[in-house]
């Protein structure tokens, strides 16, 4: 991988469709190794569940933005909505070079996606369970 990862314009367009247009619940991004460019991998419809989102994470690294909604335990309860950036880098048999390329590309993608509220780096399935995400969003 070359130093400096490019981010496709489509990544920003689909992020804005999620953030401003409320067209999606989440967008998953991947690194196109041939182009050294981050591209859109999958978009989740607005009525998608968190479980559906998790099912689309691969055994390879991915980036994602999830429009997470949660309700506080306050009286009266408040609705909280946050755009959560998730860097999924599972502890699998991925080549080290590939994991390093994803780690290097993370900041390039985040710089292009204005309006992210929270960030999570997850290396194992328990770190992307909905209870964990909800804790992070509400804190």
The pLDDT tens digits of the residues spanning 99-120 come to 889 999 999 999 999 999 999 9
CB-based contact 53:27 (threshold 8 Å): no
Tokens describing residue 33? 């190794």
| Res. 19 pLDDT band, cuts 50 70 90 | very high
State how far the Cα of 110 lies from the Cα of 102, in Å rounded to an integer.
12
Strands 62-71 and 118-122: unpaired
- Helix, strand or coil for residue 126? helix
Mapped onto helix, strand or coil, the DSSP state of residue 136 is helix
pTM as predicted: 0.92
pLDDT band at 38, cuts 50/70/90? very high
């Amino acid at each position: 991988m070359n130093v400096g990862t490019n981010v496709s314009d489509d990544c920003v367009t689909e992020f804005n469709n999620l953030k401003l247009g409320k067209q999606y619940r989440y967008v998953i991004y991947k690194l196109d190794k041939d182009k050294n460019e981050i591209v859109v991998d999958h978009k989740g419809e607005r009525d998608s569940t968190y479980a559906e989102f998790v099912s689309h994470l691969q055994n390879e690294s991915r980036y994602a933005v999830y429009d997470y909604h949660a309700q506080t335990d306050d009286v009266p309860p408040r609705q909280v909505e946050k755009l959560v950036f998730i860097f999924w880098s599972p502890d699998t048999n991925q080549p080290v070079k590939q994991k390093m390329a994803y780690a290097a590309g993370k900041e390039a993608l985040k710089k292009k996606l204005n309006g992210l509220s929270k960030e999570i780096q997850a290396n194992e399935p328990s770190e992307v369970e909905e209870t964990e995400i909800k804790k992070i969003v509400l804190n």
